[in-house]
């Protein structure tokens, strides 16, 4: 099987992207997805996305973790897929697309994607952490000395521990920045089972959690991740948060083809 793919990255969160409007990609082949994401034997990525057709919108986003499993919404992946759709000429300035968590609006200009995330109507506040779903489930915890914090070890312990267990959660560690009223974020992602350089749904969860805990009064919040800088904005309401947007760069890296042979 010859596969044409594109490589994109959004603040260091990298993806294999495939134009699947002809629906030829074998989307149930988790072994193939895992191979493509493998950094030693395949292309290498945090995840893989298919740009599928949609009956009512510009396209449909299908997202896989690097372990080959189809997953929940990925914010940085969504931003990169919007940039890819723009490259394909599917839209000029604004678009709407379907994803596993519903309909998304986005705009694209000069390499910057502004992606509308789902409304957030439920936040669980605990003494040491918050839990909320921003398209994917996220545990948010404030820590000190985040630069030297052992994200992989502590993130894995939380991801697999009570109350998350086998289903698991993504885990975000956060520390306030003094320079711009923003926050520094490091994320352990389930499915990748390691720290990634950025997580879009993660920084979205962090921004809302920090506002909910009254650690900021800003509704447009800069967030510094391992791979760069993102911005989350939102509108608080009596029922939660609406008009939630994730903004940042989405960059085309390269295009390639490979031949895949299933040894099975």
- Tens digits of per-residue pLDDT, 184-207? 999 999 989 999 999 999 999 999
Active site residue: 37, 80, 130, 199, which one? Answer: 199
User: Any idea where the domains of the chain sit in the sequence?
Assistant: 2-117+250-259, 123-245
- Extract the runs of DSSP E, i.e. beta strands, from the chain: 2-10, 13-19, 47-52, 59-65, 94-99, 102-109, 112-116, 123-125, 130-133, 137-142, 170-176, 183-189, 194-196, 220-225, 228-237, 240-249, 251-259
Residue 263 banded pLDDT, cuts 50, 70, 90: low
Same fold flag, 2-117+250-259 and 123-245: yes
User: Which pLDDT score, from 0 to 100, does residue 260 have?
Assistant: 85
Residue 199 annotated in active site: yes
State percent of the chain over pLDDT 70.
Answer: 99
pLDDT over threshold 90, residue 264: no
Q: Does residue 74 have an active-site annotation?
A: yes
Tokens 């449909």 correspond to 60
**pTM, 2 dp:** 0.94
- Cα distance between residue 156 and residue 60, in whole Å: 31
Each residue's pLDDT tens digit, 135-156: 999 999 999 999 999 999 999 9
Topology annotation, domain 123-245:
Diaminopimelate Epimerase; Chain A, domain 1 (3.10.310)
**Residue predicted with more confidence, 127 or 262:** 127
pLDDT in tens, 71-115: 999 999 999 999 999 999 999 999 999 999 999 999 999 999 999
Look at residue 35 in the predicted model and tell me its pLDDT.
95
DSSP state of 216: -
Q: Which residues pair with 10 in a beta bridge?
A: 13
Whether 166 has a pLDDT exceeding 80, the answer reads no
Whether residue 249 contacts residue 114, with contact meaning beta carbons closer than 8 Å, is answered with no
**Which of 3.10.310.10, 3.60.15.10, 2.40.170.20, 3.30.200.20 would CATH assign to domain 2-117+250-259?**
3.10.310.10
Q: What is the mean pLDDT of the chain?
A: 95
């Amino acid at each position: 099987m010859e596969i044409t793919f594109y490589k994109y990255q959004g603040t260091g969160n990298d993806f294999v992207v495939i134009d699947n409007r002809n629906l030829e990609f074998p989307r149930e082949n988790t072994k193939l997805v895992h191979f493509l994401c493998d950094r030693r034997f395949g292309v290498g990525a945090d995840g893989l996305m298919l740009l599928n057709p949609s009956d009512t919108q510009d396209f449909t986003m299908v997202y896989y973790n690097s372990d080959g499993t189809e997953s929940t919404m990925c914010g940085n992946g969504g931003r990169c897929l919007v940039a890819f759709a723009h490259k394909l000429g599917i839209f000029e300035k604004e678009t709407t697309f379907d994803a596993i968590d519903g309909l998304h609006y986005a705009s694209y200009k000069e390499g910057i994607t502004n992606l509308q995330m789902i409304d957030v109507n439920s936040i669980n506040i605990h003494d040491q952490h918050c839990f909320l779903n921003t398209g994917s489930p996220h545990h948010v915890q404030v820590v000190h000395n985040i630069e030297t914090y052992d994200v992989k070890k502590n993130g894995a312990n939380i991801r697999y521990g009570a109350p998350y267990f086998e289903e698991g959660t993504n885990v975000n560690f956060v520390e306030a920045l003094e320079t711009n009223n923003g926050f520094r974020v490091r994320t352990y992602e389930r499915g990748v089972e390691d720290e990634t350089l950025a997580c879009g749904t993660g920084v979205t969860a962090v921004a809302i959690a920090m506002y909910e805990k009254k650690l900021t009064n800003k509704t447009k919040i800069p967030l510094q991740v391992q791979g760069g800088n993102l911005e989350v904005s939102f509108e608080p309401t009596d029922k939660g948060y609406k008009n939630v947007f994730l903004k940042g760069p989405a960059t085309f890296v390269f295009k390639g083809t490979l031949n895949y042979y299933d040894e099975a």
